């Protein structure tokens, strides 16, 4: 048994949560519910388990305000749970149970987590989730590029390799343009195949609004028409991540990731 004032037997499901938090940093309670079974598990069961892990100092909790005036819980690792899985990732340095007001770092992390969930738990039957990787440092020592994530899927078209960028509208077009050029430099370096054992990759840009997407697409189109695909979180939720919801830098035709490059 493990814990401070509360004894808790750690389950495989708990360990899985700790491992995911070590990669993603934070998760909403609703996102944890999807991980643990979605509709097959009640919100009450999830909340009761999270409360026990909190009481045993195995999770930290914070809160975000909602548009309706309520609040939603955000969870992260503690030093104790990080040590259990041998994680070197420092737990999020925020005061426990505090209200995170305008915390763009946490909100960005939660958007990345939303994309991870879409790839991990909402794929159609013809696609298989293979791999997710997070990054704490640049891909190459000479290239200051740190993607928000990397995912591989397997479909009847073979392996789909994709880097992810979750855009919340906080970067200027100048900064975004530099990121586009860094991805192109990485593609031309020939290092992708050595690092990831795949031939080609795409870069997925996901924003929270179509209005934000338009300047991102225009900035990209001035630099390249290759590699980049754009969509919104709403399109992903409504139609599915592999549906024809992706725009290229130019044009109004929407594309599916399931089709080959």
> CATH code at 64?
1.10.10.10
Average pLDDT, the chain: 91
pLDDT exceeds cutoff 80 at 102: no
What's residue 157's pLDDT? 79
Nearest to 104 by CA among 164, 170, 56, 58: 170
Domain that holds residue 252: 118-256
pLDDT exceeds cutoff 60 at 18: yes
Kindly state the percentage of the chain with pLDDT values over 70. Answer: 96
Indicate if 84 and 141 belong to the same structural domain: no
Q: Could you say which of 67, 101, 135 is where a domain stops?
A: 101
| 3-7, 40-44, 198-202, 238-242: least confident range | 3-7
What's residue 261's pLDDT? 61
What's residue 110's pLDDT? 94
> CATH code at 127?
3.40.1350
What's residue 91's pLDDT? 65
> DSSP characters for 157-195?
TEEEEEEEEEE-S-S-HHHHHHHHHHHHHHHHHTHHHHH
Cα–Cα separations (whole angstroms), residue 77 to 73, 80, 125, 152, 216? 14, 8, 32, 26, 34
Indicate if 34 and 149 belong to the same structural domain: no
Indicate if 125 and 249 belong to the same structural domain: yes
Model confidence pLDDT, tens digit, residues 153-199: 998 878 999 999 999 888 899 999 999 999 999 999 999 999 999 99
Give residue 104's Cα distance to chain centre.
15
Indicate if 66 and 125 belong to the same structural domain: no
Indicate if 86 and 147 belong to the same structural domain: no
Higher-pLDDT residue of 257 and 90 is 257
Indicate if 124 and 43 belong to the same structural domain: no
What's residue 1's pLDDT? 35
Model confidence pLDDT, tens digit, residues 201-240: 999 999 988 899 999 999 999 999 999 999 999 999 999 9
pTM confidence score: 0.89
State the total domains in the chain: 2
Question: Span 129-147, mean pLDDT?
Answer: 94
Decide if 3 is inside a domain: no
Indicate if 129 and 61 belong to the same structural domain: no
Indicate if 67 and 25 belong to the same structural domain: yes
């Amino acid at each position: 048994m493990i814990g401070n004032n509360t004894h808790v037997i750690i389950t495989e499901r708990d360990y899985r949560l700790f491992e995911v938090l070590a990669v993603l940093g934070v998760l909403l309670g609703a996102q944890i519910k999807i991980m643990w079974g979605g509709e097959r598990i009640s919100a009450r069961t999830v909340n009761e388990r999270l409360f026990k892990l909190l009481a045993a100092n195995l999770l930290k909790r914070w809160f975000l305000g909602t548009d309706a005036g309520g609040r939603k819980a955000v969870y992260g690792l503690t030093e104790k749970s990080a040590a259990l899985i041998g994680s070197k990732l420092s737990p999020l340095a925020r005061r426990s149970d505090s209200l995170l007001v305008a915390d763009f770092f946490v909100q960005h992390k939660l958007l990345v987590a939303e994309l991870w969930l879409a790839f991990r738990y909402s794929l159609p039957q013809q696609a298989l989730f293979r791999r997710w990787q997070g990054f704490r440092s640049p891909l190459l020592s000479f290239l200051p590029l740190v993607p928000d994530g990397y995912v591989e899927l397997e479909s009847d078209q073979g392996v789909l390799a994709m880097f992810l960028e979750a855009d919340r509208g906080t970067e200027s077009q100048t900064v975004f343009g530099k990121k586009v050029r860094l991805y192109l430099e990485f593609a031309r370096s020939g290092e992708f195949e050595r690092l990831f054992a795949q031939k080609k990759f795409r870069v997925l840009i996901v924003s929270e609004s179509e209005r934000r997407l338009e300047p991102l697409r225009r900035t990209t189109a001035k630099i390249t028409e290759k590699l980049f695909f754009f969509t919104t979180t709403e399109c992903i939720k409504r139609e599915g991540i592999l549906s024809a919801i992706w725009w290229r830098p130019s044009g109004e035709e929407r594309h599916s990731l399931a089709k080959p490059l």
